[in-house]
Amino acid sequence: MTSLGAKGRPSNLQRICLEELEKAEEILLQTEGFNPQEFKSLFKGKPTDNADILEAFDRQVGGLTKEGRIGYADTFKGSKQSFLRYMADKKKTISTFDEITVAWLESYAKWGAELINTKKGKKRRLSRSSLGIHLRNLRVLHNKALKTGGGENLSISEF
């Protein structure tokens, strides 16, 4: 399968590739069916719970509240509510950062610019500033998820 190095042994690169291949085979043998996200998580050895968006919002609000940063925590609460309303209105539910695409973000921005129903039954638009704040908060949480192992595919900065 592979050629040997000058001393009749696999090179470092070949050895690393073989070890990674064996690791992938073990994971595939241990799991039922193939789930790309689960495989990626197991292969990289990173937890998947950090990629849950709603839990990430709750953790951020809790952490900011403990630090006494109530106003900033409120922006994350508002962002979470905005995303929940959007998902309910458009029936475009997502739960992990990996599920967010540029198309999803564009759809959210378009939805926010349209007249939408508020809790009090009034119709209004989200301002450009509010949209920016909500997307910034989502990006903050995505960056945290990247540092801790979730949300590898999202590129909010392109939006």
C-alpha to C-alpha distance for 35 and 127, rounded to whole angstroms: 39
For 59-99, write each residue's pLDDT tens digit: 899 999 999 999 999 999 999 999 998 888 888 788 888 88
Q: What is the pTM of this model?
A: 0.60
What percent of the chain stands above pLDDT 90?
19
Distance separating alpha carbons of residues 151 and 138, to the nearest angstrom: 11
